[in-house]
Copies of this chain bind each other. A is one copy, B any other.
């Protein structure tokens, strides 16, 4: 078993979906990722919060034995995102993004984090992703996420960090935007040509398309969930389940390892979307995961 270092946002979200709304709920990629990954392996968080960040929200991660010694608390307000979902819930419409303390975030890893073997660079500015990776001495396996905003505004820095990671986890529309391809099947090999050994294209309700240079495609659906409440954080939860699965194995991941890790990501994400914020994810147990895995293997015709 290896430790996982994650850098990403700890945030408050205002979210409106056809199922209802929350005004200031716990969110942020590092929170979703850590809650999922810590079900499999130890997690270390690098991030920044403001004075308003709730002690109980820190406690939630501590209760999962997440190491928060890389979490800075600084003057000002915590990152805030407001968004809404309509119709089929596949696309979030951003209404407000307040970077707040994230604007001057200058990640500096505690000495004891620098030996981390598994590193996940969640969706933050590519220069910050690079700054974190530069501080890790000998990473065994590095993954990253990104988004349309960085593809549009920081392409050069993005390509630089892309060339240094083992796997990219990215949304389908963003994979198309990054490569100019018309669909995920054409985009995937263009992304691995930029450096990574493999790419996971996240397709929302349609699941994922995993592609590795050595093994080609593995494509599987999302878990069918009849009453989706809030898709926020599903991608970060997927990444947490994916990395947790691999760090638990501990070895340098093979393509087959990553393929199975995508299933763990899929299972974990299926909990997140069943309630607002991290509510459902925070309550998930290993038994819940095993039960859902049984259901999922039936859905994909493996059982």
Instruction: Indicate if the CB atoms of B182 and A88 lie closer than 8 Å.
Output: yes
Indicate if the CB atoms of B18 and A300 lie closer than 8 Å.
no
Q: Is A224 an interface residue (CB 8 A)?
A: yes
Among B221, B226, B263, the residue within 8 A (CB) of A219 is: B221
> Do B224 and A185 touch across chains, with their CB atoms under 8 A apart?
yes
Q: How many copies does the complex hold?
A: 2
Q: Judge whether A220 is part of the interface by a CB distance below 8 angstroms.
A: yes
In the bound complex, what is the Cα–Cα distance between A260 and B221 (angstroms)? 16
- Whether A301 contacts B218 by the Cβ 8 Å rule is yes
Question: Are A302 and B299 interface neighbours, CB within 8 A?
Answer: no
CB of A269, distance to nearest CB on chain B (Å): 14
Q: Mark A80-106, 1 if CB is under 8 A from B, else 0.
A: 000000011100000000000000000
Query: Nearest Cβ distance between residue A279 and chain B, in whole angstroms?
Result: 21
The answer on a CB contact under 8 Å between A259 and B301 is yes
A205 CB within 8 Å of chain B: yes
Which residue on chain B has the smallest CB distance to residue A182?
B88
**Does A283 count as interface, using CB distance less than 8 angstroms?**
no
On whether the beta carbons of B221 and A207 are closer than 8 Å, the reply is yes
A77 within 8 A of B: no
Decide if A203 is an interface residue (CB 8 Å cutoff): yes
Report which of B88, B184, B299 forms a contact with A183, defined as CB distance below 8 A: B88
A residues 153-204 in Cβ contact with B at 8 Å:
182-186, 203
Q: Is A149 an interface residue (CB 8 A)?
A: no
Is A216 positioned at the interface, with any CB of B under 8 Å from its CB?
yes
User: Given A185-B226, A206-B206, A209-B224, are A300 and B300 also a contact pair (CB < 8 Å)?
Assistant: yes
Q: Could you tell me if A217 and B301 are in contact, using CB atoms closer than 8 angstroms?
A: no
Are the CB atoms of A218 and B299 closer together than 8 Å?
yes
> Is A225 at the interface (CB under 8 A from chain B)?
yes
> Contact: B205 with A183, CB < 8 Å?
yes
**Once bound together, how far apart are the Cα atoms of A227 and B260, in whole Å?**
27
Asked whether any CB of chain B lies closer than 8 Å to the CB of A55, the reply is no
Bound together, the chains give a CA A300 to CA B208 distance in angstroms of 11
28 contacts between A and B (CB under 8 A): A18-B182, A88-B182, A88-B183, A89-B182, A89-B183, A183-B205, A184-B205, A185-B224, A186-B226, A186-B227, A207-B221, A216-B298, A217-B224, A217-B299, A218-B299, A218-B300, A219-B221, A219-B299, A219-B300, A220-B220, A220-B221, A220-B300, A220-B301, A221-B221, A260-B301, A263-B301, A301-B302, A302-B302
Q: Lowest 4 CB-CB distances: which A-B pairs, in order? A: A219-B221, A206-B206, A185-B224, A217-B224
A89-B183, A206-B206 known, 17 other contacts, Cβ within 8 Å: A88-B182, A89-B182, A183-B228, A184-B205, A203-B206, A207-B221, A216-B298, A216-B299, A217-B224, A218-B299, A218-B301, A219-B221, A220-B221, A220-B301, A260-B301, A263-B301, A302-B302
